[in-house]
Structure 1
Amino acid sequence: MTTAVAPTLPFRDPALPLAERVRDLLSRLTPRERVAMVHQYSPAIPRLGVAEFRTGTETLHGVAWLGRATVFPQAVGLGATWDEDLVREVAEAISAEQRAFHHHRPPVVGTGRNSLQGWAPVVNPLRDPRWGRNEEGYSEDALASARLGTAFCRGMSGDHPVYLRTAPILKHFLAYNNEEDRCTTSSGLRPRVLHEYDLAAFRLPIATGAATGVMAAYNLVNGRPCHVSRLLERELRTWAEPTGHELFNVSDAQAPSNLVDPEHYFDDHAEAHAAALKAGIDSFTDNGEDSATTFDRISTALERGLLSMDDVDAAVRRQLSIRFRLGEFDPQLDPYAGIGWDVVDSPVHRALALRAATDSVVLLKNDGLLPLAADRRVAVIGPLSDTLFEDWYSGTHPYRITVADGLGVEGVEGVDRVVLRTVSGLALTAVGEDGLLAVTDTGDSDAAAQFDLFDWDLGALTLRSAATGRYASMHDEDQRVYAERDQPGGWDVHETFSLEPGGDGGELLRNLHNGRYARVDPATGDLTMTAQAPAATRFTRTVVRDGVADAVAAARQADVAVVVLGNDPHINGRETQDRADLRLPPAQERLLRAVAAVRDETVLVVMSSYPYAIDWADEHLPTVLWSSHGGQETGRGLARVLRGEADASGRLPQTWYRGGDPLPGRLDYDIIKAGWTYQYHREPALYAFGHGLSYTRFEYSDIVLESGELDRNGEVRARVTVRNAGDRAGVEIVQLYVRAVGARYEAPLLRLADFRKVRLDVGAAAELEFRLPVADSLAHWDVTTESFTVDPGRYELVIAHSAAKPLRTAGVTVAGPAPEPRPALRRPVLAADFDDYTGIVLVDATREDGDAVAPAEETGRLLFCSVDLTGAARVTVEVSRAESGSALLELWSGERLLASLRVPSTGDRHAWTSVEAELPKALAGVHDLYVILTGEQRLRTLSFAS
């Protein structure tokens, strides 16, 4: 509850500049009030009429966790549209619904109002398709991620020159692509990968003012937690300065506490909180609604001199700035205050959800089976044929149009219906209105004793009661199981089980959440998930309906079989859990092959949060499509594409690798060295980045250049004409790539420079002009100058249908002097600025700042190309060693040993010392310098002197 305040206070005057209003309100807050505002749940200040404030509503592809709201395709599905206008419209709809929840519905947790800060979009490039959160990002390409993320932010924030509709937050800064041990793993980013790839996805939405802040990631980068990264200030805030607005950055949930436990990066929480606040975290999402803990830690840091009130004031100033821009203090002027509840799941938003679901479908292969003729009898088969799944960041579907619904047929799931009996013959049964599972004396024909058994691979099963139509779920409070859940879900999934060999032909039923086995009380028949294996009840399984047989029968009776396979977003790949591999669940693969064996005209629809290795399907089936979990209108959108009512206009936002293609390690973030993404992966993909077929045919003219000779400050101007040469209207994604020819560095095979989405009627053509600043589109990060640079030389522009299918090429030449060698005597050479390496990991030089290198195991090797050692007579290395004893550091030029240095123990990895050695006489000229590190040590810099 707030208290009325006289409108004469300056911060209440909308005619004053924003900075002046913020400054006035900040000056009226007591130190205790300011410290309290650093927590996620910022308390009300009744004496000033200031309401309580909370950061964060999840808005990734619809308003999440608050109830029924329009659900759009997953972010990776929106990425497949390659459509900035559509993504912006989707974000506009989401932000309008977020406003409606803010104005008209109480929060599910806490008091006050639902937050107008939107925790979306996710712009982390999708480096590894096994990432459990693959569904949350747009693309493996940094440019595509940045542009779609910018469009989403624009839609969220609105077009008003003063007020924001909502405040979008970019996630997750930085280099976050693995779930397992995510709070303790470190992502190694060499400077080129940092600047050309991971930072690049964040720069555009921040530099254009579209985003209002970032959320720091759980992981570490080069050994330092993201929540204390100086990049927050050095890069992000620097980019934002020209926009006239400061970023308001938030932590991820519980991450401030993680700095001490489990990361053990700091000794105590006051020190850790001080470091995070000074690094650029303005709001601490920590300990849920308990703001007292954060208050105490920040207060302790102030008392100990680890923080000043200026540090606190900077964070509070940024929060207040966002609150003013959201119209909190000017409700009479806020252009979005009048948004009503009727926008939620409105007809306009339903139509937009259908458009997004339609445009996100990607046609991967088509040997003429599609579009489906109206007179073809269609069987819709598979475990996803008649269901739509929500994911962790989904809103609640207001309704669900499944693929079977969209095609107007009854789905055949193709899963076994089973009865589980104890050795005494009693059947596991869903009893009563709540579907409590117990064993009873009933027959196999009793629906209450029958369960549909869904096999999601890796031993993860779900059991859906034939009687209730709901999934079995274990309750934590009593360890009993109830067939009551509409779908598996929640942060801790309680609906997954395994059936494991139990001896004597029996099986043990285990709940995967608590790890315990089912035990039946022999006196009452009650079942609880409380037993260890030796005391568990054994069951026998009887199949009362053969899922594959049903599917085969349905396929025989149809002209076309549409088999819908994929994942449940809560199982075997989600936040906190990476995927084991790229394969389809074997049970789904067997179902597909059985159907294809009796029906040549089989269409595979993969509905998933990520790519699969579907080599067999590509080789043996005529048609394959992919859709993400596309929201409430998924089925209608897919049906429109299958029938040809809409062109197949989606294109893949990431590479689909082949099953036999060994992927790099999950923690190998060096896309250059490891060979990640279309830019550096050299093996042929199953389906390449940008791939997707249309129902019509497009022809391209040659690329016409305004000039083929450019300087580094110039602009590439290129035109190309695309024409619909087919017999129906269609949609094309025109993709323009660049590549450096004969580069002195390991350049990308191709790099996306621009893209356009065009819709063309039969015979229609569009002339497209591309204008690419040379300094942006042809640049690479130069480790010698520690900046982006464009080398003189030859470059190619490539118009392509995908990264694997170039169509037209034109060459340009950039003039300018040749790059100079690395000057050894002018300044220290940073060890992290290497050109190549073997067996090296990047680490933190200090807790506060800087990178160093260390051997990954016993020995590591660095290469520094073209180092001008003219006049160098001695070398000094800045090193540390935590262990006792010493290590060895050697400098080589080719086969010539230049120096051998012993690295002494410094007692701590962050305690640095300098070691010096003389170089051979008459050392001159440009050398490729090798540094070999043997034994535990860290190297920060090399300095050469005459």
Structure 2
Amino acid sequence: MLHQRAPAVERLGLRAFTTGAEVLHGVAWLGTATVFPQPVGLGATWDPDLLTRVADVVGIELRAKHAADPIVSLNVWAPVVNPLRHPAWGRNEEGYSEDPYLTAELGTAYARGLRGDHPVYWRTVPTLKHAFGYNNETDRGVTSSQLRPRVLHEYELPAFVGPLQAGAAGAVMAAYNLVNGRPNHLSGELLDLLRDVTPQPLLVVSDAAAPGFVVTLQRFYDDHVESHAAMLRAGVDSFTDNDADSAPTIERVTAALERGLLDEADIDLAVQRQLEVRIRTGELDPDRDPFVVGPDAIDLPAHRALAREAVARSVVVLENDGTLPVREGARVAVVGPHADRVLHDWYSGTPPYLVGLGTALRERLGDEAVTVADGSDRVVLRSVRTGRAVRCGGPTHVLTADGAGPGTATGPDEQHDLTHWGDGLWSVAVAGTGLLWTGARWVLHADATRVGGWVAQETFRRTPHDDGTWSLQHAGSGKWLRVQHDEAGTLVADAETPEAADRFTAEVVRTGADAVRDACRDADVVVVAVGNDPHLGGRETADRPTLTLPESMLDLWRVAGEGAGSARRVLLVVSSYPYVLPDDLGADAVVWTSHGGQELGHGVTDVLVGDEEPRGRLAQAWPAAVEHVGDLFDYDVIAAGHTTWYARHAPRYALGHGLTYGDVAYATAHLALPGGSSTDAATVTPQSRVGVVVRLHNAGSRAAHELVQVYADAPEHRLPFGHRLVGHRRVEVGAGETLDVTVEVPAARLATWDVTRSRLVVEPGRYVLGVGPSASTVAHQLVVEVDAEPVPPRALVGHEVHAADADVLTDVELAARTRTVGTAVQIARGREEGCVELWTTSVRGARELRAVLARTRPGPAWLELAVPEDGGTWRTVAAAAVPEDGDRWTWSTVTVPLDLAAGDLPDVADVRLRLVGAVRVATVELR
């Protein structure tokens, strides 16, 4: 029962069971199902009700799959609630927002729809992914995310805690990476933080293959028996490993029992949590299950309508000079790689149909009013060695080199459309069919409808030579293309080097630039649709290689300008993530949408032509420059200045940004007080809920959907506080209407983590509430004064203090104290020394330092304790050397007297711990 594939237990009436079904934005990998926008697009709706309705449909369709095949799990692996800390993360498409509380709100809403609203039975049991500190794909199984206490409790945990406290999720998946030096699958202390806030038992599942990584990649244990025992003791209840083969898991756990590394009670507890999940879904009470549907509850008319609504509500108008909405009667050109494509991501289901933008615009405006060109180059590829053109031949679409000879006319089977997706990756489609070349089977075929697969098989790299010929490399396998010496001249991907590959000439039938110019020539409005393919340029297993649009797409933008003349130009970005756009873009309007699923074209068209008002708002800021985003692997958002909370640079488009077709002004704002009075400043307590009242006026001729946002700053806070979203509310403001809107702000959202007492605290002082339509546009400021007890000095005399609970960490990293529990501090790799600071510490009467130390390697290693002196210098009062023997798991308690020759310590002082050499520090104490 501990493996993902649990067998039936017929004597107990238990059928075979599998943990996990993928339902990120629709049912995936189980055949036809409704496909909704990617989560990053759903996040842009800022609409919990919509997400609940979407998840309700997804849950119904998953139940339909379960009705057709009961092995389909009702324990579903969604939503992803990792905050979108860094835009270069390959899996950016899977999350909702960079803000942890907005992520929690939307994740709760999606989980609630999957769960259903019955008080006893659950439609499905949602699993939150991925705990914890998971925002990089590069080396994801071995990197250690540094989550110091403030970052952990203020930024990382809230996104998980929200859905769990609400009772909307019943499971959590541990992430591949390590946190503070310990694999997440062994981090019982972190998992317990989630179990402590969950009103029902919490199932913890492993990520796929992760249990084996503890030994093979992370080398945290030497053998799988020990590691599996440690995972169970840490709270992992289900092992997804070795695909469908449960034997290795069973053998390892059995051996752990025999060695005494586990008790049967450990196994009973894990199995109990699994059974409780199954009980919740009605498996043992089928006659009482309120969520039973038939296998045909798929692709219903209401599901299609909701998919279209979800796309429209997720579209964000980023810039607009009045070009949008497109006026009636306008002639529109739609050009670029997304002109009429609808693309899938790894976690997409199989949609029942696809509607692209060009198709949808033609439906709405008429065929004569819309021209479409995808900007691909149409070429004939001819083998230099054989002189024959590469063609698609036969019903199986095998590519052969048996086309017409040099100088002869070619047909659609010999002509191919080349599209560049950035990072040197090209897709090649047969002009006559639109089907893509794929190298998945060694012999090249042209039968793929899209780029796909765990390793994409439908992309190629081209190497140009001085004589103008090309060599082509299949990107998925790394093999080079050559023509076999058979009668047909079969094209295969098996050459090991470019020298062994065939060379091809490319006879241009039509350039993409010429096609775009022609399409734009008579247009009134040109929509240039660019962006990524979700299987390329960033996805699971691969972080983004760049944050900028490919130069080939920017070239299309410039070409469209040349052909458009006086036409208005709209840049439409269809992508899984933000881009850094050129400063000299010169667009009349800029619009963003995620990959929206089957109704992408209809939903975007509804907004472009004004049938739907723009409602989307960015849930993730778009940076103004590549250098502003910082290091992908730096998880300390406070020190690194990551996200809107702590950003040091103004973004191009801020969190919450998005335009309406109305003209909404923020006329006034005030704080609502008990009894109906109002003010622009008030005193509150940490338990208060503050009412921010905003008067909006829409001077436009259309109703507008406005997202009123409130952000908090604390300029005088003793800690770096940041710029935090603390409240928001969506309203519709009619044309010419004036409307008063109240946004409720819980004072608890002003809390910071008190490292001295290990709890969230709203500290006393002045907080400024900025009200406006985005994080960077503040229309009014209001002030609240919090009346609360100040944080007392940290007690260090007679109290053991964890070095990890420092106020400042410089050139150090957090690491596992032992394999199972605790966190220590050690010098960061590449540094010779580092320090931590403990602020406002009570040190009166101290005479000696007691420290628990270990070493990372042989060599000098010691710890110094210093207090500040006048003039900003530090006075060292103790130095403790680490014993020579032992390793990183061998801890010694070292006691040394304080050097008080220059005078006793003050009553209260900041304390600095300086680490030198191969030292690790667990705790310090003064006596």
- TM bucket (normalised to shorter chain) is over 0.9
Q: Does 1:688 align with 2:688?
A: no
The equivalent of 2:689 in structure 1 is 715
Would you say the 8 A contact 1:427–1:449 is kept in 2? yes
Work out the CA distance in 2 between the residues paired with 1:788 and 1:101.
Answer: 43
Q: Does 1:50 align with 2:14?
A: yes
The equivalent of 2:239 in structure 1 is 284
Moved more, 75-84 or 430-439: 430-439
Work out the CA distance in 1 between the residues paired with 2:515 and 2:403.
Answer: 28
Superposition TM-score, scaled by structure 2 size: 0.94
Q: Does 1:164 align with 2:122?
A: yes
Cα offset for 1:350?
A: 0.6
Would you say the 8 A contact 2:858–2:918 is kept in 1? no
Would you say the 8 A contact 1:370–1:642 is kept in 2? yes
Cα offset for 1:270?
A: 1.2
List per-residue Cα deviations over 1:121-164 (Å, max 9, x = no partner).
00000001111100000000000000000001110111111111
Q: Does 1:540 align with 2:505?
A: yes
Moved more, 738-747 or 131-140: 738-747
The equivalent of 1:943 in structure 2 is 925
Would you say the 8 A contact 1:130–1:579 is kept in 2? yes
Helix, strand or coil for the counterpart of 1:788? Answer: strand
Would you say the 8 A contact 2:762–2:788 is kept in 1? no
Moved more, 196-205 or 527-536: 527-536
Corresponding residue to 2:205 among 246, 250, 268: 250
The equivalent of 1:141 in structure 2 is 99
Work out the CA distance in 2 between the residues paired with 1:291 and 1:931.
Answer: 49
Helix, strand or coil for the counterpart of 2:42? Answer: helix
Q: How does 1:339-378 map to 2 (within 5 A)?
A: 339-378=293-332
Corresponding residue to 2:865 among 863, 886, 891: 891
Work out the CA distance in 2 between the residues paired with 1:450 and 1:354.
Answer: 35
List per-residue Cα deviations over 1:320-370 (Å, max 9, x = no partner).
111111011111111112x12343111001110011000000000001111
Q: Does 1:638 align with 2:587?
A: no
Would you say the 8 A contact 2:654–2:776 is kept in 1? yes
List per-residue Cα deviations over 1:608-667 (Å, max 9, x = no partner).
0000111346x4111000000011111111111111111111000101002353421111
Q: Does 1:227 align with 2:227?
A: no
Helix, strand or coil for the counterpart of 1:661? Answer: helix
The one-letter code matched in structure 1 to 2:729 is R
Would you say the 8 A contact 1:128–1:666 is kept in 2? yes
Corresponding residue to 1:648 among 614, 617, 636: 614
Q: How does 1:757-836 map to 2 (within 5 A)?
A: 757-774=730-747, 776-836=748-808
Q: 1:143 to 1:52 in 2, by over 3 A?
A: same
Superposition TM-score, scaled by structure 1 size: 0.93
Work out the CA distance in 2 between the residues paired with 1:710 and 1:294.
Answer: 55
Helix, strand or coil for the counterpart of 1:802? Answer: coil
Q: Which ranges in structure 1 are unaligned for 5 or more consecutive residues?
A: 1-36, 107-111
The one-letter code matched in structure 1 to 2:34 is T
The equivalent of 1:602 in structure 2 is 569
Would you say the 8 A contact 2:807–2:838 is kept in 1? yes
List per-residue Cα deviations over 1:840-873 (Å, max 9, x = no partner).
1111111111111111122212222222211111
The equivalent of 2:394 in structure 1 is 432
Q: 1:886 to 1:507 in 2, by over 3 A?
A: same
Would you say the 8 A contact 2:39–2:96 is kept in 1? yes
Helix, strand or coil for the counterpart of 2:128? Answer: strand
Would you say the 8 A contact 1:413–1:547 is kept in 2? yes
Corresponding residue to 2:256 among 297, 301, 310: 301
Cα offset for 1:118?
A: 1.2
Cα offset for 1:816?
A: 3.2
Cα offset for 1:468?
A: 2.7
List per-residue Cα deviations over 1:412-463 (Å, max 9, x = no partner).
1011112221213221221111111121241452221211111111111111
Q: How does 1:732-751 map to 2 (within 5 A)?
A: 732-748=706-722, 750-751=723-724
Percent identical across equivalent pairs? 45
Work out the CA distance in 2 between the residues paired with 1:897 and 1:190.
Answer: 25
The one-letter code matched in structure 1 to 2:574 is M
Cα offset for 1:720?
A: 2.8
The equivalent of 2:197 in structure 1 is 239
Q: Does 1:74 align with 2:38?
A: yes
The one-letter code matched in structure 2 to 1:402 is G
Q: Does 1:329 align with 2:284?
A: yes
Work out the CA distance in 1 between the residues paired with 2:87 and 2:339.
Answer: 24
Q: Does 1:629 align with 2:592?
A: no
Work out the CA distance in 1 between the residues paired with 2:834 and 2:501.
Answer: 51
Cα offset for 1:475?
A: 2.7
Would you say the 8 A contact 2:436–2:449 is kept in 1? yes
**Count of residues in correspondence between the two structures:** 894
Show structure 1 runs of 4+ deviating over 4 A: none
The one-letter code matched in structure 2 to 1:62 is G
Q: 1:900 to 1:237 in 2, by over 3 A?
A: same
The equivalent of 1:218 in structure 2 is 176
Q: Which ranges in structure 2 are unaligned for 5 or more consecutive residues?
A: 363-369, 675-681
List per-residue Cα deviations over 1:560-579 (Å, max 9, x = no partner).
11110000000121000000
Work out the CA distance in 2 between the residues paired with 1:451 and 1:848.
Answer: 58
Work out the CA distance in 2 between the residues paired with 1:488 and 1:712.
Answer: 52
The equivalent of 1:932 in structure 2 is 914
List per-residue Cα deviations over 1:247-304 (Å, max 9, x = no partner).
1111110111111111111111111111111111111111111111111111111111
Helix, strand or coil for the counterpart of 2:506? Answer: strand
The one-letter code matched in structure 1 to 2:848 is R
Corresponding residue to 1:612 among 565, 574, 579: 579
Cα offset for 1:796?
A: 1.6
Cα offset for 1:760?
A: 2.8
Corresponding residue to 1:526 among 490, 503, 508: 490
List per-residue Cα deviations over 1:225-247 (Å, max 9, x = no partner).
1111123542011001xx2x101
Q: Does 1:91 align with 2:55?
A: yes
The one-letter code matched in structure 2 to 1:786 is S
Corresponding residue to 1:752 among 725, 729, 739: 725
Would you say the 8 A contact 2:694–2:740 is kept in 1? yes
Q: Does 1:188 align with 2:146?
A: yes
The equivalent of 1:839 in structure 2 is 811
Cα offset for 1:719?
A: 2.8
Work out the CA distance in 2 between the residues paired with 1:203 and 1:719.
Answer: 29
Cα offset for 1:467?
A: 2.6
The one-letter code matched in structure 2 to 1:277 is L
Q: Does 1:115 align with 2:73?
A: yes
Work out the CA distance in 2 between the residues paired with 1:102 and 1:817.
Answer: 54
Moved more, 905-914 or 482-491: 905-914
List per-residue Cα deviations over 1:466-506 (Å, max 9, x = no partner).
13311111134xx1110010001011211111011355432
Would you say the 8 A contact 1:892–1:929 is kept in 2? yes
Would you say the 8 A contact 1:886–1:904 is kept in 2? no
Moved more, 665-674 or 498-507: 498-507
Cα offset for 1:213?
A: 0.9
The equivalent of 2:419 in structure 1 is 454
Q: How does 1:403-482 map to 2 (within 5 A)?
A: 403-408=357-362, 409-424=370-385, 425-442=387-404, 443=408, 445-476=410-441, 479-482=442-445
List per-residue Cα deviations over 1:786-810 (Å, max 9, x = no partner).
1111111101222121110012221
Would you say the 8 A contact 1:906–1:912 is kept in 2? no
The equivalent of 2:677 in structure 1 is none
Helix, strand or coil for the counterpart of 1:405? Answer: helix
Work out the CA distance in 2 between the residues paired with 1:505 and 1:177.
Answer: 42
Q: Does 1:900 align with 2:900?
A: no
Work out the CA distance in 1 between the residues paired with 2:273 and 2:186.
Answer: 18
Corresponding residue to 2:836 among 855, 858, 862: 862
Q: 1:340 to 1:523 in 2, by over 3 A?
A: closer
Helix, strand or coil for the counterpart of 1:257? Answer: helix
Would you say the 8 A contact 2:332–2:527 is kept in 1? yes
